[in-house]
Amino acid sequence: MKNLLLLFALLVSTSVWCQTKLIEKVTKTGDEIVIPYEKYELENGLTLIIHEDHSDPIVHVDVTYHVGSAREELQKSGFAHFFEHMMFQGSENVADEEHFKIVTESGGTLNGTTNRDRTNYFETLPSNQLETALWLESDRMGFFLDAVTQEKFEVQRATVKNEKGQNYDNRPYGRYRELQAAAMYPYGHPYSWLTIGKLEDLDRVDVEDLKSFFMRWYGPNNATLTIGGDVEPKEVVKLVEKYFGVIPSGPQVDPLKLTPPVLESDRYVSYVDDKIRFPAVIFSYPTVPRFHPDEAPLDCLAEILGSGKSSYLYKNFVQTQKAISASASHPASELAGEFSMFVLPFPGQTLSDFEKEVRNILEEFAKNGVTDDDIQKFKANQEASTINSLSSVSGKVSQLASYETFYGDPDAIKFDLDRYLNITKEDVMRVFEKYIKGKPAVVLSVVPNEETAPAQPDNYEIPTEGKSEYPTTDYSGLEYKRPEGDQFDRSARPGLGDNPVVKVPDFWEDKFENGIKVIGTESDEIPTITLQLTLNGGHKLEAKDLSKAGVASLTASLMNEATENFTSEEIQEELRKIGSRISVGSGQTSTSVYISTLVKHLDRTLELAEEIIMHPAFNEDDFERLKKQQLEGIQAQLKDPAATASQIFQKLLYGKGHVYAVPGSGEEETVNNISLDDVKAFYAEYYSPAVAELVIVGDISKDEIMPKLDFLKSWEGKDVEIPELPKTKKADKTKLYLVDKTDAPQSQIRIGYLTDLDYDLTGDYFKSYLMNFPLGGAFNSRINLNLREDKGWTYGARSYFAFDDPEDPIAYVATAGVKADATAGAVNEFMKEIKEYQKEGISEEELAFMRKAVGQRDARSYETPGQKASFLRRIIHYDLDKSFVDKQTEIIESISKKEIDNLAKKYLDYEKMYILVVGDEASNLKQLEELGYEIVKLNEEGEPKVIRP
């Protein structure tokens, strides 16, 4: 229920007359879908939205600035995203690198994101840390510019370049969106470049340009502060007035309105990407902005054409084994939208043929039209998606902030859902005729080499110079207004309230006679139920016969296909009609069946789950198609430097002949050995209740759910023996292994070895996690601060202890993707940090930081159904009780510097580590040789080429 107030709204502040106005209050009165909130406006124009939710002792704070790359202009791209980085680099009262440190040691997590139309910064913390979050966010809103330095500017410029290298230039298909945007939008249109910006623009910009951009767009009157969680609104208002009230308004910001792009004819563009195996053809049509009446039916059209096994693209391309994947989407932004179809054909076929087939599919759809089932499935998925988005405070806060920013009303969730639930078949056909059928498109081809022809020869040259017809911003005359009038010492970090009481979820346990262990917890925050059935074994079972490695993965894939009573299409469409999800996947040590449904559809969902788990059809056609996809995927991995590095590193750690040295998807030779009979045998032997664990989380009691699980209680299966793996041979000394990726703009680095740690959540394993936290386990760890924040060589670097099964060795791993010319330097800095920490140990400051950061994390550990399920899985799998959480807390509070130092000496054995570099050999070999390690050259399969002393 919404209560709109008159112009002279309710006075809520007792400190400053009429400083803050209550604009509206929305409450929940029944079962309607609504996010309750109170909305205020400060005198400086800042919009404040408060959502009160006491279900967990956490608070989520989001500051959304209505500025993204759309406010940039020609030759000055990337500013908004650059500011996302710069705003974490300290402000007048928050020291360099302190933002991440303060939030992390408060037991919180944080980040920032930028898109075309907005930039947001957010934190999730224990509720007693609210004032800290407001202090941090207000300081960078009002007291940021004086802390900006040329040095910080240069480091972040390098970091952004590394982000572009890692996420775009060095990633398969990483550049297609850049060309797609430039071909779709007119020259100078702010959507014609990506949020990341262009490297030449980043090189062109200086620190004064950046300051001007901040002064123009980052005022409180262009921001929405949204706070949700375990809070009292009156107290929140007082704190917000205290920290944000003195910040002066910025220049007025008028809505940006641009004419949507119009294509006069098809535009064919292409580029070569030597990191891909599959060519790609992408169709893109200009459409409508967000919240336009035609957005919802266009979204429905995209689902009909490209989502699910009944979609036109899937049936014509994937099911027929012509393509490894095919999809459609309709992302809509504030100023415009694009309807896209993306097809990845198998090698050996021409993109021109695929272009014709895509056009034929559109003609086929035009003849067939929209069915009642199409509409039912779309609406069911929209309803389920909306309800699931309300499972976390951060999800609800994000929605409130987005609706306020782009719709002008936080209370838009019902309107938003209704516009999807009210669409008709006629609406979908109308938008198809208006925007897609026979309309010009950008047709983009991505090819693996010059010999592969694009769909059509390029007929459109993307402009790179000329005059822009789009409005520019006058940045002259802007003046930094330093906030004045604080009635407190802003340089002092706020004190903390009482630590919140963190309640470990209550749970119940049971065990079926056939061996299935069951654990569950009741949660009524949203009307959903999540079940996770885990079958222990997975890829590890293949140790018995490595000649058919990949059979566990292939079996799980086939479980998502036809059953004895349903075709592949029918079973998935039955699920989509009710907005439920059942998926089967295999990992290193287990196979999992994930089930998610609204409460009202539980019975039907469990009927379908029984069909999938108990009655797989294992059809020959499905098998051949999925086997082909798995083989092609294996080949595609070899093109991806990050995937190559991870796979070869596993081979170094475990050695030839070990099951973990082989990817879970298998290798080309082993997958070729697998027959359909092998899959049937794997299912018969290893899909058994004897190794099953079931986790249940949701709005249902034990008494209600247990009678519905008779199909699992009556499941019969064999006893399963999970193999004990052989001992691994450790390195006798540290060596450097080099894999050549010619001309790679980045190098992938992996460093580590198999430790002697045993898995124990209250023993050395857990304590070593604490030990590593300041070294490489946090954003402001030694490793990340060195390589990312100080050097600007990487988008991120970290280290951790990893394992797949508590019975198996635990590896220590350090990892990063770094710019090519910093490869040797990065290896050197990695090893320097590990050595120094091993020898000198943790500092008292780092010890205090770790205690606070890890000690307060539990406040946000049990919020969502997924988090609860993960916690319960650990309980049942490792035979724990709730007390392990208390024991961990005791360890965090009592562990000494001496104990941590001893753990570092014992488990950071830098003299027996594998160093792997996947990058350009020609430009890096000499510098790597100077590091003094023995170098072993490997091919892309991880086999030695040449040993160089």
pLDDT tens string 871-881 = 999 899 988 88
Hey, which of 39-53, 157-171, 787-801 has the most confident mean pLDDT? 39-53
The sheet carrying 811-819 orders its strands as 794-802, 811-819, 746-754, 914-919, 735-740, 934-938, 944-948
What's the token pair of residue 378? 């779309």
Look at strands 590-598 and 528-536 and give their pairing.
Answer: antiparallel
For 525, the 3-state DSSP assignment is: coil
Buried b / exposed e along 759-771 (16+ C-beta atoms within 10 A): bebbebbbbbbbb
The answer to whether the beta carbons of residues 376 and 577 sit under 8 Å apart is: yes
Please report the pLDDT score of residue 353 as a whole number: 94
* Span 893-936, pLDDT tens digits: 999 999 999 999 999 999 999 999 999 999 999 999 999 999 99
What is the signed CA dihedral for 676, 680, 685, 690, rounded to 10 degrees?
130
The answer to whether the beta carbons of residues 755 and 838 sit under 8 Å apart is: no
CA 232, 234, 237, 243 torsion-angle sign: negative
DSSP 212-246: HHHHHH-SGGGEEEEEEES--HHHHHHHHHHHHTT
What pTM was estimated for this model as a whole? 0.90
For 798, the 3-state DSSP assignment is: strand
Q: What does the angle CA 510 – CA 514 – CA 515 come to, to the nearest 5 degrees?
A: 55
DSSP 751-791: EEEE------TTSHHHHHHHHHIIIIISTTSHHHIIIIIIT
* Span 349-361, pLDDT tens digits: 899 999 999 999 9
Which residues, in sequence order, are bridge partners of residue 698?
A: 522, 529
Q: Is residue 775 over pLDDT 80?
A: yes
* Span 908-919, pLDDT tens digits: 999 999 999 999
Average pLDDT of 69-86? 89
Please report the pLDDT score of residue 276 as a whole number: 87
Question: Domain limits of the chain?
Answer: 31-244, 267-389+403-447, 508-713, 735-948
The sheet carrying 442-447 orders its strands as 267-272, 442-447, 280-286, 338-345, 323-329
Please report the pLDDT score of residue 326 as a whole number: 95
CATH of segment(s) 508-713: 3.30.830.10
Q: Is residue 552 over pLDDT 70?
A: yes
The H-assigned helical ranges of 343-473 are 351-368, 372-388, 393-407, 413-421, 425-431
31-244 and 735-948 agree in CATH topology: yes
Q: Is residue 499 over pLDDT 90?
A: no
Average pLDDT of 564-577? 95
* Span 784-834, pLDDT tens digits: 999 998 898 998 999 999 877 777 889 999 999 999 999 999 999 999 999
Please report the pLDDT score of residue 105 as a whole number: 87
Domain 735-948 CATH assignment equals 3.30.830.10: yes
Q: Is residue 18 over pLDDT 70?
A: no
* Span 607-664, pLDDT tens digits: 999 999 999 999 999 999 999 999 989 988 888 888 999 999 999 999 989 999 999 9
- What is the fold of 31-244? Cytochrome Bc1 Complex; Chain A, domain 1 (3.30.830)
The answer to whether the beta carbons of residues 365 and 339 sit under 8 Å apart is: no
Please report the pLDDT score of residue 596 as a whole number: 97
- What is the fold of 267-389+403-447? Cytochrome Bc1 Complex; Chain A, domain 1 (3.30.830)
Please report the pLDDT score of residue 155 as a whole number: 82
The answer to whether the beta carbons of residues 138 and 94 sit under 8 Å apart is: no
- Looking from the CA of 78 toward its CB, the CA atoms found within 13 Å total 24
Please report the pLDDT score of residue 946 as a whole number: 53
Least confident of 97-106, 126-135, 780-789: 97-106
Q: Is residue 3 over pLDDT 70?
A: no
Which residues, in sequence order, are bridge partners of residue 798?
A: 815
Please report the pLDDT score of residue 497 as a whole number: 67
What's the token pair of residue 254? 């008028």
The H-assigned helical ranges of 143-287 are 150-164, 176-184, 199-204, 207-217, 233-244
CA 920, 923, 927, 929 torsion-angle sign: positive
* Span 650-688, pLDDT tens digits: 999 999 899 999 999 999 999 999 999 999 999 999 999
Average pLDDT of 412-422? 96
Q: What's the chain's average pLDDT?
A: 92
What's the token pair of residue 878? 């490792």
SS3 content of the chain, % helix, strand, coil (to 5): 45, 20, 40
What's the token pair of residue 824? 């040797």
Which residues, in sequence order, are bridge partners of residue 934?
A: 735
Please report the pLDDT score of residue 2 as a whole number: 57
Give CA–CA dist 57/767, Å, rounded.
26
